Structure 1
Amino acid sequence: MMVGHAMLAFAVATAVAMRRWPSERALAFGIAAGAFAAVPDVDMFYAVVGLAQAGVGGVWEMTEAFWGSSHLVHRAVTHSLVVGIIGTAGFVGSVTDRWRPISGLLLAGLTAVAFAESGLLGGIVMLVFAVTGVAVAVALARATDLGPRALVSAALVGLLSHPFGDLFTGAPPRFLYPFDVRLLTERVVLLADPTLNLLAVFGVELATIWLAGYVYLRATDRRVFAHIDTRAAVGVAYAIAAITMPAPTMEVSYHFVFSILAVGMVGVAPHLLPSRSVLSAEWDEGVTWVLTGLTAVSVAGLTYTLVYVIYPFP
């Protein structure tokens, strides 16, 4: 759900902002919310340590080492509503002269608490979180005309929405960290069948990206079908994967995720396959390639699901 966090925050923030601001400013606000929504996942940096320790080996061994290391801290220290609120004040305060000293104290306090609660690793993760959040705030303050109040709103949307997006894919976040209170102890399961549950979560992710795409096109006065090429129908061929590959689950999904995302490459290969736009697509625009690839992946996911349901799996 890493991409989905940013996309959801962008879509919600932009759609709401368009009710009171011009499209360009609303898009800037949405981009700010999306950028802040991605910050909590900097805790994944520790997974690089596990990958380095595993060394160069097979794809699956390296992937397992990556995720195995990430689970030590992922969704604990940075995926907290408490940390999100304090972090918002610290991040945005760092770009204002008046509040910069208080910002430093708040972020230093977060790091100290994480160190006391989760040891050296937790403290380092919180420090990386703080530095990244400040960098995002500074970049947005320089690149946009959003004032401190708008940045606070964008940061709250991004940081507070992020933990909820992780309820379907793994261990629930510690919503109230550093307090030892667990709101949920198990992830939310949409369907009993483990493969269909994975496909449902994958569908939610795709729907989130589609929502963000629709909001962006609406803000820029474009039509969805004008940027989808008929080559996206290539995704139908992915149905064969439901028969030839082991059925994926939330625990073992790498082969499914890597292969179905590869289908989206059709969107950036305009000269390799015949192309014919659905409604006069403009091929010099990157948005056309993105939407064509997204459509191909969506078609692939749908056909895979249909074959999985119909085909008698052992």
Structure 2
Amino acid sequence: MFVGHALLAFAVAALVADWRGWERRPALFVGVVAGAFAAIPDIDVAYALVGLLEWQAADGALGASTAFWDASRGVHRSVTHSLVVGAVAAPAFGLLAVRGRSGRARLATVVAIGLLAALVVIALVWDGPLAAFVLGLFAASGIVIARVVARASSLSPATVGIAALWGLWSHPWGDLVTGTPPDWVFPFSTSILESRVVLHPDPTLHLLGAFAIELATIWLALAVVCRLTDRSIFGSVDRRATVGAAYGVAALAVTPPTLEVSYHFVFSILGVGLLCGVVRDASSPTLPRPIRRGLSSSDETLEVVLTALAAVTVALAAYAAVYLVATLV
């Protein structure tokens, strides 16, 4: 869901900006800013890299991923995913987008750093050094984004703060179907949404549903890009995406995936999409597509991405259909 968090924030922010009458380029940019802020709560997985230090090569690739995620359980989806933390951090990130070297800009920076430092101290007192460490990474990431935005655009500090708030607040909801729910209101406690939302009692169908939500989010983001750049989303999909239907046989040949063991499913279905996206039809001319079709490099990239995504979507539908038939039989 790492990608989905950022793309959902991007899509909604860009659509709202477009609805408010913004020019298309600034609308896309504010979407990118919101998406960047939506991604930083998952900086807490950086601690999980320590798990790889305990991994032995003899354990294989699956052992490496297991060691990584086992190490992440103590801190992932904790302090960085809190709505309370986001409500305090977002204005601080907005203040850091104040430009210039005036007394006002210096004051804004001091207040922002003070707010972020206070969050780190609270994490240290309430939850210990590990929580303070990941919240420090969270704060540092947000500072970098805010300063880059201030230098690369004319977005107002208020707009940056709102984009940051939307990004940070939209993030935790995407975790409700894929793992342990986040620590919603750290440093406070709550009894709301303490367990995973189950899409279906069959663990494989639950995984397929979660995967479908992720695909829908990616489709939404690409639809927004196409809308704001005057492109046709379906016109950019090549017919070779239908090859993804062959993936349905995997439902009969491999162990049904679940959230606990899904690597073989995820990597294989993404591989199908990648191949469909980048491999041309045998009948296609040997000239590069931009020359053959008169497409720009961005059009070419968009076609590859959309074709790959369509192939994955077709593959998912085929796999689900075959799995359901096999289960009923």
TM-score by length of 2: 0.90
Q: Which residue type is aligned with residue 93 of structure 2? A: F
2:61 counterpart residue number: 59
For the residues of structure 1 that align with 2:170 and 2:111, how far apart are their CA atoms? Answer: 25
Q: CA deviation at 1:312?
A: 4.0
The amino acid that maps onto 1:200 is G
For 1:46 and 1:272, the matched residues in 2 are separated by 44
Q: Aligned pair 1:112/2:121, yes or no? A: yes
Name 2:36's counterpart in structure 1: 35
In structure 1, the residue matched to 2:309 is 294
Q: Paired residue for 1:221? A: 230
CA deviation string 1:181-213 (max 9, x = no partner): 232210111111111111011101100100010
Q: Say which SS state the counterpart of residue 145 (structure 2) adopts.
A: helix
Q: Distance in 2 between matches of 1:272 and 1:59?
A: 33
Task: Return 298-307 or 181-190, whichever deviates more.
Answer: 181-190
CA contact (8 A) 2:47 2:72 kept: yes
| CA–CA distance in structure 2, aligned partners of residues 247 and 114 of structure 1 | 40
SS in 2 for 1:58: helix
Shift of 1:225: 2.0
After superposition, the C-alpha distances for 1:10-55 in whole angstroms (9 at most, x for unaligned) are: 1111111101211111111111111110010000101111012214
Residue type of the alignment partner of 1:71:
R
Q: Structure 2: which amino acid aligns with 1:290?
A: V
Shift of 1:157: 1.0
Query: For 2:9 and 2:227, how far apart are their aligned partners in 1?
Result: 16
CA contact (8 A) 1:5 1:38 kept: yes
**2:88 counterpart letter in structure 1:** I
Residue 135 (structure 2) pairs with residue 126 (structure 1): yes
Say if 2:20 is the partner of 1:12: no
What residue in structure 1 maps to residue 149 of structure 2? 140
Residue 165 (structure 1) aligns with: 174
Q: Which of 259, 268, 292 is the aligned partner of 1:259?
A: 268
Following superposition of structure 1 onto structure 2, how do residues 167-186 of structure 1 map, counting pairs within 5 Å? 167-186=176-195
**Closer/same/farther in 2, CA of residues 184 and 312 from structure 1, 3 Å limit:** closer
Q: Does 1:84 align with 2:86?
A: yes
Contact 1:17–1:26 (8 Å) recurs in 2: yes
Measure, in 2, the Cα distance between the counterparts of 1:275 and 1:72. 52
Q: Equivalents in 2 of 1:240, 1:146: separation in Å?
A: 50
Q: TM-score, normalised on structure 1?
A: 0.94
* Identity, % of aligned positions: 46
Q: 1:268 and 1:207 mapped to 2: Cα distance?
A: 18
Match of 1:249 in 2: 258
Structure 1 letter corresponding to 2:231: R
On the 8 A contact 1:114/1:126 being kept in 2, the answer is yes
**Whole-Å Cα distance in 2 between the matches of residues 281 and 310 of structure 1?**
44
- Residues 92 and 161 in structure 2, CA contact (< 8 A), matched pair in contact too: no
Letter in 2 for 1:16: V
- Alpha-carbon distance in 2 for matches of 1:154, 1:4: 17
Q: Which residue of 1 aligns with 2:47?
A: 46
Q: Which amino acid aligns with 2:18?
A: M
Tell me the distance in 1 between the aligned counterparts of 2:27 and 2:83.
25
What letter matches 2:172 in structure 1? Answer: P
Q: Is the 8 A contact 1:230 1:275 kept in 2?
A: no
Contact 1:175 1:182 in 2 (8 A): no
Cα distance change of structure 1 residues 283 and 245 upon mapping to structure 2, 3 Å threshold: farther
Q: Deviations over 1:223-270 (max 9, x none)?
A: 012211112122112112111111111121111111111112125524
The equivalent of 2:102 in structure 1 is none
Go from structure 1 to structure 2 and tell me whether the alpha carbon gap of 1:274 and 1:48 turns closer, same or farther (over 3 Å shift): farther
Structure 1: how far apart are the matches of 2:28 and 2:133? Answer: 33
Task: Please say which of residues 171-180 and 228-237 is displaced more in the overlay.
Answer: 228-237
Tell me which structure has the larger Cα radius of gyration.
2
Check the 8 A contact 1:231/1:275 in 2, yes or no. no
Specify whether residues 245 and 161 from structure 1 end up closer, same or farther in structure 2 by C-alpha distance, changes over 3 A only.
Answer: same
